């Protein structure tokens, strides 16, 4: 009897509604604002007095259920072995659920701020100087983003990759003031680039790009992290106070581009779907499967007409020829648009979560996958972070003609034909995970990521005995330095169906899944085994 396996790797180094089209100035219509020479000098000076610690006390972190143990790195090789030689390399790459993907270029426009932290065990309160301002990112496929930090105590990774992410999958999901942060973004720099008008409205006195960025970041930190932080410049501090007091809750912006759902399934000879386009752009291009000419698979609308473009709300289908062997295929949608202000950006490694302050016209994309089988269950598997539950939601939609049974965490679940069920797998906060589902015929689907749902604790442990010239410092950011602690080790990112469609190839799971927990040395191995439809124990 064949086997279906799921390997889960947990890295010990990881810590990890719709609304109107965004309004405001195109912040990249002119050359991007960078720190002046004096800024660079200030950055070097700040690095000279940087604190020699990156430890966190855990203040502000949510407490989630931990997974049993950390896995041995050798399991990565085991996953590849079980998958079989027929698995295409492209299937392992994983794509995020949709929208913009970008690489962090660093902090570009900033001034100084002072963070105050309460002492512990009778120790006096501590203060620490740090830079505050705008980051920039380069978008995959073209485009630039400007962002602010919403995760003060978490370090950034040099050249970290970021994915456009729903608020619910970040610390914003549980933050009742998340909408106020978006209001601040809409009413301050760089969306308001007339600094004289901004200064007049806020009653601050003269503002520069640097002090406007610093004041805006300080106001955001007060809501994102509950931080006791002030801008060093008096005009920037007045701006921060005005923004904090004036802010009102506004709705989360819609995604720039997503496909819902990211995976569908059914029988050959049918149109599989629908997959609904959600975008703030006027139109997106639709690319069929790469082997469409050979396989005969087309992407159509509800009437069965092949399509090459679509708008918001369009329903797309995979038209699979009746003679097709069991397998899978993917479609991709893409466009160029301005990403809505207020969209969250989460790293694929443990790195500061960011929030969008401005966007040029940027490339955004999304992918959906269809899987089909001749008989039995036809499951479509997706997954995403569930910050409220402290884990990963694994969703199985069964579009076959037989029940789909699987066991997770000691509980057996059966998804009837035509039904859908979601099960949450607990994952510790800041924990990296890497799930690979493999099966007969080269079936493979991977889910990797870092559960980063809460803001971090204090960067200076109370009682640290630092020299006087370093006690106020923090590991300052220049164009590519992190804020506020030293850069950590990169780990597997949040991709696959967690924020992605994942990778699939050929034959789907024929009968059922069973998940068992096997502790191997320092790791946890999840094993899914096939069962016969008649209910026989899996081999």
Residue 489 predicted with pLDDT over 70: no
Residue 237, pLDDT above cutoff 50: yes
Predicted confidence band at 221 (pLDDT cuts at 50, 70, 90)?
very high
Q: At 200, which helix (H) or strand (E)?
A: helix 195-202
pLDDT at 436: 62
The answer to whether residues 104 and 156 touch, using CB atoms and an 8 Å cutoff, is yes
Distance CA 513, CA 80 (A): 19
How confident is the model over 362-392, as pLDDT tens digits? Answer: 999 999 999 898 888 788 888 889 999 999 8
- Highest averaged pLDDT of the listed ranges 38-42, 233-237, 442-446: 233-237
Average confidence (pLDDT) over 492-501: 33
Q: Measuring CA to CA, how many Å separate 289 from each of 264, 328, 519?
A: 14, 9, 39
Average pLDDT over residues 255-278: 95
Say which residues have a Cβ less than 8 Å from residue 458's Cβ, sequence separation at least 6: 56, 57, 59, 117, 153
pLDDT of 534 = 37
* Per-residue model confidence as pLDDT tens digits over 26-46: 555 433 333 333 343 343 333
**Out of 11-25, 69-83, 240-254, 511-525, least confident range:** 69-83
Confidence of residue 122 (pLDDT cuts 50, 70, 90): confident
CB 139 within 8 A of CB 153: no
Q: Which tens digit of pLDDT belongs to each residue from 177-208? A: 999 999 999 999 999 999 999 999 999 999 99
Minimum mean pLDDT range among 83-87, 332-336, 394-398: 83-87
Average pLDDT over residues 332-356: 96
Asked if residue 73 lies in contact with residue 198, where contact means CB atoms within 8 angstroms, the answer is no
Q: Over the stretch 454-467, which tens digit does the pLDDT of each residue have?
A: 886 433 333 333 33
Give me the mean pLDDT over the 476-490 stretch. 35
130-168 tens-digit pLDDT: 999 999 999 999 999 999 999 998 888 889 999 999 999
Distance CA 222, CA 325 (A): 57
- List the chain domain ranges: 99-246
Burial of 291 (0-12, 13-18, 19+ CB in 10 A): exposed
């Amino acid at each position: 009897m064949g086997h279906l396996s799921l390997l889960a790797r947990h890295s010990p180094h990881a810590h990890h509604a719709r609304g109107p089209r965004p309004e405001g100035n195109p912040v990249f219509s002119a050359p991007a604002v960078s720190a002046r020479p004096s800024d660079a000098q200030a950055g070097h000076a700040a690095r000279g007095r940087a604190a020699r610690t990156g430890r966190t006390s855990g203040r502000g972190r949510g407490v989630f259920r931990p997974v049993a143990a950390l896995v041995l790195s050798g399991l990565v090789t085991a996953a590849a072995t079980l998958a079989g030689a027929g698995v295409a390399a492209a299937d392992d790459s994983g794509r995020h659920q949709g929208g913009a993907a970008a690489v962090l270029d660093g902090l570009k426009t900033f001034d100084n701020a002072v963070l105050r932290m309460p002492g512990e065990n009778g120790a006096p309160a501590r203060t620490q100087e740090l830079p505050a301002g705008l980051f920039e990112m380069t978008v995959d496929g073209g485009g630039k983003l400007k962002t602010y930090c919403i995760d003060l105590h978490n370090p950034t990774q040099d050249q970290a990759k970021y994915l456009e992410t729903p608020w619910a999958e970040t610390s914003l999901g549980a933050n009742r003031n998340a909408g106020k942060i978006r209001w601040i973004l809409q009413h301050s720099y760089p969306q308001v680039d007339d600094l004289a008008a901004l200064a007049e409205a806020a009653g601050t006195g003269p503002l520069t790009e640097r002090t406007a960025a610093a004041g805006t970041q300080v106001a955001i930190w007060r809501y994102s992290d509950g931080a006791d932080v002030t801008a060093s410049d008096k005009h920037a501090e007045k701006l921060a106070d005005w923004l904090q007091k004036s802010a009102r809750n506004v709705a989360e912006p819609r995604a720039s581009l997503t496909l819902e759902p990211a995976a569908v399934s059914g029988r050959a000879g049918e149109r599989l779907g629908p997959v609904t386009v959600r975008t703030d752009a006027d139109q997106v291009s639709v690319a069929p499967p790469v082997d469409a000419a050979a396989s005969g698979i087309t992407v159509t609308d509800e009437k069965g007409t092949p399509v090459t473009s679509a708008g918001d709300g369009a329903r797309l289908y995979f038209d699979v020829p009746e003679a097709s062997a069991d397998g899978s295929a993917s479609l991709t949608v893409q466009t160029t648009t301005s990403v809505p202000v207020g969209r969250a950006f989460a790293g694929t490694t443990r790195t500061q979560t960011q929030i969008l302050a401005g966007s040029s016209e940027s490339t955004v994309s999304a992918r959906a996958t269809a899987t089909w089988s001749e008989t039995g269950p036809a499951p479509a598997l997706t997954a995403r972070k569930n910050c409220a539950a402290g884990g990963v939601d694994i969703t199985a939609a069964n579009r076959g003609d037989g029940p789909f049974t699987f066991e997770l965490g000691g509980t057996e679940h059966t998804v009837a034909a035509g039904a859908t069920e979601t099960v949450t797998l607990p994952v510790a906060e800041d924990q990296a995970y890497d799930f690979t589902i493999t099966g007969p015929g080269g079936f493979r689907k991977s889910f990797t990521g870092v559960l980063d749902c809460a803001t971090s604790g204090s960067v200076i442990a109370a009682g640290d005995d630092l020299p006087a010239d370093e006690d106020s410092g923090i590991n300052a950011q220049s164009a590519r330095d992190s804020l506020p602690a030293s850069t950590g080790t990169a780990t597997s990112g949040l991709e696959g169906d967690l924020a992605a469609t994942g990778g699939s190839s050929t034959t789907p799971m024929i009968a059922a899944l069973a998940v068992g927990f096997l502790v191997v040395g320092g790791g946890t191995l999840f094993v899914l085994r096939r069962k016969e439809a008649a209910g026989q124990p899996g081999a």
